[in-house]
Amino acid sequence: MNILEVRDLSFSYPDKSILHRLSFNVEKGDFVCVVGTNGTGKSTLLKLILNILQPTEGEIRLFDKRADKFRDYSKIAYVSQKATSFNRDFPATVEEIVSLGLYSAKGFLKPYSASDKEKVKAALERVGIYDYRKSRVGRLSGGQQQRVFIAKALVSSPEIIFLDEPTVGIDITAVDSICCLLGELNKSGITILMVTHDISSILYHSNKVLVLSEDGSGEIMPSEEFNSHTILNHVHHKH
Ligand SMILES: Nc1ncnc2c1ncn2[C@@H]1O[C@H](COP(=O)(O)OP(=O)(O)O)[C@@H](O)[C@H]1O
Ligand SMILES: [Mg+2]
C-alpha cells in the first residue's frame, strides 16, 4: 500500500523554481532517506507533503487522500528542522514537550486521561529518556533533545514520521544511536521519510534513497544502489 504518492510535483517560490516534475511513492514499511545538496528543496518537499505549502503543479496524496484534503493528522508526525535549538532555560520539561504530541490526536484543551499519561510514558521509554522526564528540555544534550522530539512524534501512534535533518549538530556517537532508534521504530512497522546529510550512518537502516538534484528533478532508488557517486553525477548533470 502506498502511504505517500507524489506525482509530477513542481513547486516555485515567487522568485525561484525549486522542484520540477518530481514523482515517487512511499510504501508502508519503507524507510526513505532524502538527500541532495543545500537548497535543492528537501525541506520544501516536506512542507508540501504536510500541506504547509501547496504544489504549483502536480499532486501529493497521503493515505490515498489529496494532501490538501487530508485531515487524519494522528496518522502522521513531523519532526521539523532545528526542532532542537532551546535556550538552556526554556521553561518546559521533557514530559511537557512530549505531551504536546497528543494534541494532534485530541485537539487542544481536552484534559489528559490516564491512558494519555500511559502513552506519554510509553513514548518516553521507547526513546530512552524516561529518566529525564522532569528535566528542563534546554538542559539536555542535542541528541537527547532530538529523542524528546521523536517521542513527541510517537505519542499519537503515527503510521509515518517525517524528519528534517534530525542529526544536525549532534555528536557522532549520538548520531549513530539516533539512527539505530529510527531503524528500530521502522522495524516495528512505522514508515519513515527522513531528510539527512548523514547518509553513511543511516544507509544501513533505510531501504530507499530519494536523491534531489539541483535542476529540481529527483530519483528514488534502493539503498543498495545508492552510493556517493550518485550525488556527484546529479550535481554534474547541471553544468
Ligand atoms: N519561503 C521562501 N521563499 C523564497 N525562497 C525560499 C523560501 N524557503 C526556501 N527558499 C529557497 O528555496 C530553496 C530550497 O530551500 P529548502 O527547501 O530549504 O532547501 P534544502 O532543505 O534542500 O536545503 C533555497 O534556495 C531557499 O533559499
Ligand atoms: Mg532543509
- Tens-binned pLDDT, residue by residue, of the chain (239 aa): 899 999 999 999 999 999 999 999 999 999 999 999 999 999 999 999 999 999 999 999 999 999 999 999 889 999 988 766 677 778 899 999 999 888 765 555 667 788 889 999 999 999 999 999 999 999 999 899 999 999 999 999 999 999 999 988 888 889 999 999 999 999 999 999 999 988 888 988 999 999 999 999 999 999 988 875 555 555 555 44
Residues having CB closer than 6 A to ligand 1 are 13, 16, 18, 36, 38-44
Give the list of residues 6+ apart from residue 39 with CB closer than 8 angstroms, or none: 214
Question: pTM of the predicted model, to two decimals?
Answer: 0.92
Using CA atoms, how far apart are residues 115 and 138, in angstroms rounded to an integer? 27
The predicted-structure confidence for 78-136, as pLDDT tens digits, reads as follows: 998 876 667 777 889 999 999 988 876 555 566 778 888 999 999 999 999 999 999 99
Distance 79 CA to ligand 1 centre (A): 18
Q: Which of 44, 45, 81, 164 to mutate to test the pocket of ligand 1 (most atoms within 8 A of CB)?
A: 44
Ligand at minimal distance from the CA of 168 is: 2
Output phi, psi for 89, to 5 deg. Answer: -100, 15
Output phi, psi for 173, to 5 deg. Answer: -70, -35
CA–chain centroid gap for 43, Å, is: 10
